[in-house]
Chains A and B, each alone.
Chain A
């Protein structure tokens, strides 16, 4: 930041915005229009702004964001599918002064990793859980997720999710909020600039709470999957607003009693 750039005609330009050091100079592999890269940016901007790069340790999941550690220029561990919260517990318990977060998709956090998620929150592990909910398994090719909406077509629910066969979409965020160990639980999105700003505020708050040893912070980001939903990025935003948000309403689910 604050580097000067001299143009050929002698004009001096001051750099006022650039990629933070917390992001590597590697292009994202995510599909065009996918929310993952925006959430990565937000997380790493906060780590940069709070100047906690040397204190932050991330845990990547199995799913589309399995390579999160390629982009986040911080120490990271790659967990087995669903086990990010257990891995984060192991890290945080032996390095209690560090700031630990997990980054997990819906299949990882709310299906195969449900036990680890619930028990980690219940213990009030002093970590941040970032939960990306796009209602589909993106990496494996668009199969039904625990958060897939009723009637939603995926490759394993080709006629739409049948609630009589597969049950209802799991509102694990509300479930987590019930547990005494959860300190701050919120549901955000990245579908427009205002939403991104709100998410950034939430992430900042969560890291600050972690510094104060307040317990588990849980941020759900209701996101999209243009490839899996078989929509254009613009169409996914419409779908988010009209279909996803009514089922997964945005806003704080549990806020600290100040």
Chain B
């Protein structure tokens, strides 16, 4: 979306709260959620703030579980509402059944995952361990979410607007894939304009059958295989069309000999690595995918022609790196540097990794 000029003063806000405030300003009709660290500030903020906004009509409900939350989202989205939920990794796992139904029934909504370290109950510290789950489907069946990965508190707010815009454009669930650090840290943010996201009519919604139309059905059940295949082909066509929405950001890739690929918080750290490397005369560039689905395969492929090697940096055991390797198709070596379980790599640690690989590559070439 085009960036509008913002007149509002910057504020210092937590990522989770900036996201919640953006949701109010995006005129959500409803939020359904269940507390889980490190994202509980989202529902806390909404519960606190919404009653003070007399001009807004927003339902905020604490459900009995994430399973109930996502199914409330399904019901409200099917009834034509702009609706969202938020959770963190274990809660998002519980929602997967509902997300699959929402994707199949083609309902627009926003799901926010403030990721924590896993697997299992894991830790409450930040992680990027849910990349596979977010981008490859997550639940059962062939489907995709639109996935946006913020890297700042500013983007925690902005992407609420972008996610709803895309979700409603494609009648598809969208996900903001953040992490515990982005949710908890405070940064300067200029909030998006109140009421700045228009609403389009949803003639397919279940709002009560009037005499002038057939009854509207929201369903994901297509029992005849011919029909089910047809629905799947339609979905695949939609996912193909979504590829045009791919977004990424580049830092100093023009003359880069080494390419870093990282998303979200890891990309923030890698920006520092680029600076540190260049101080030492190592020409490092960074590509940061902003949409994780669709993924910028083509651009990574183009950059692969110009660099010596690629280092993918993530806060997991290596998930996006599989997509980077798919993009590059073996043209140049793709290395991986990751920390897990809530640990975050320092810029120095990543630079050391680059230097070690660089040295190894030179030995191979000599």
Chain B residues near A66 (CB-CB < 8 A): 221
How many A-B contacts are there with CB distance less than 8 Å?
131
A73 at the B interface (CB under 8 A)? yes
CA distance A192 to B222 in the complex (A): 35
Whether A59 and B75, one on each chain, are in contact in the complex, defined by CB atoms closer than 8 angstroms, is: yes
Q: Which of B72, B81, B208, B221 contacts A54 (CB 8 A)?
A: B208
Q: Which of A76, A79, A88, A115 contacts B217 (CB 8 A)?
A: A76
CA distance A92 to B222 in the complex (A): 26
Q: Which of B67, B76, B217 contacts A93 (CB 8 A)?
A: B76
Whether A69 and B74, one on each chain, are in contact in the complex, defined by CB atoms closer than 8 angstroms, is: no
A105 CB to nearest chain B CB (Å): 15
Whether B218 and A56, one on each chain, are in contact in the complex, defined by CB atoms closer than 8 angstroms, is: no
Whether B221 and A76, one on each chain, are in contact in the complex, defined by CB atoms closer than 8 angstroms, is: no
Whether A76 and B206, one on each chain, are in contact in the complex, defined by CB atoms closer than 8 angstroms, is: yes
CA distance A115 to B67 in the complex (A): 10
Chain A residues near B32 (CB-CB < 8 A): 90
CA distance A90 to B61 in the complex (A): 9
Chain B 141-156 interface 0/1 with A at a Cβ cutoff of 8 Å (1 = within): 0000000000000000
Within B45-80, which residues are at the interface with A (CB < 8 Å)?
59, 61, 63-65, 67-69, 71-80
Within A72-88, which residues are at the interface with B (CB < 8 Å)?
72-80, 83, 86-88
Whether B215 and A88, one on each chain, are in contact in the complex, defined by CB atoms closer than 8 angstroms, is: no
B219 at the A interface (CB under 8 A)? yes
Known contacts A53-B209, A94-B76, A94-B81, A73 near B215 by CB under 8 Å: yes
Chain A residues near B220 (CB-CB < 8 A): 78
CA distance A93 to B221 in the complex (A): 25
Known contacts A57-B206, A90-B30, A94-B79, A78 near B211 by CB under 8 Å: no
B97 CB to nearest chain A CB (Å): 6
A40 at the B interface (CB under 8 A)? no
Candidate in A78, A86, A116 with the most chain B CB atoms within 10 angstroms: A86
CA distance A164 to B79 in the complex (A): 44
Q: Which residue of B lies closest to A72 (CB)?
A: B215
Whether A76 and B61, one on each chain, are in contact in the complex, defined by CB atoms closer than 8 angstroms, is: no
A254 at the B interface (CB under 8 A)? no
A70 CB to nearest chain B CB (Å): 9
Within A225-243, which residues are at the interface with B (CB < 8 Å)?
none
B159 at the A interface (CB under 8 A)? no
Q: Which of A72, A93, A115 contacts B72 (CB 8 A)?
A: A93
CA distance A196 to B357 in the complex (A): 79
B216 at the A interface (CB under 8 A)? yes
Known contacts A53-B209, A87-B71, A76 near B79 by CB under 8 Å: no
Whether B209 and A73, one on each chain, are in contact in the complex, defined by CB atoms closer than 8 angstroms, is: yes
Is the interface on chain A under 10, 10 to 19, 20 to 34, or 35 or more residues?
Answer: 20 to 34
Whether A86 and B67, one on each chain, are in contact in the complex, defined by CB atoms closer than 8 angstroms, is: yes
B101 at the A interface (CB under 8 A)? yes
Chain A residues near B98 (CB-CB < 8 A): 80, 83
A91 at the B interface (CB under 8 A)? yes
B83 at the A interface (CB under 8 A)? yes
Chain A residues near B77 (CB-CB < 8 A): 90
Whether B206 and A55, one on each chain, are in contact in the complex, defined by CB atoms closer than 8 angstroms, is: no
Whether B221 and A89, one on each chain, are in contact in the complex, defined by CB atoms closer than 8 angstroms, is: no
A102 CB to nearest chain B CB (Å): 10
Chain A residues near B67 (CB-CB < 8 A): 83, 86, 115-116
Whether A90 and B218, one on each chain, are in contact in the complex, defined by CB atoms closer than 8 angstroms, is: no
* CB<8 Å pairs between A and B, sample of 6: A75-B208, A78-B217, A86-B69, A86-B74, A116-B67, A116-B68
Q: Which residues of B contact A (CB under 8 A)?
A: 29-30, 32, 59, 61, 63-65, 67-69, 71-81, 83, 97-98, 101, 105, 206-211, 215-221
Given contacts A78-B218, A88-B75, 16 further A-B contacts (CB under 8 A): A56-B208, A57-B206, A67-B221, A69-B215, A72-B215, A73-B209, A74-B208, A75-B216, A77-B206, A80-B97, A86-B67, A87-B72, A91-B206, A94-B81, A115-B67, A116-B64
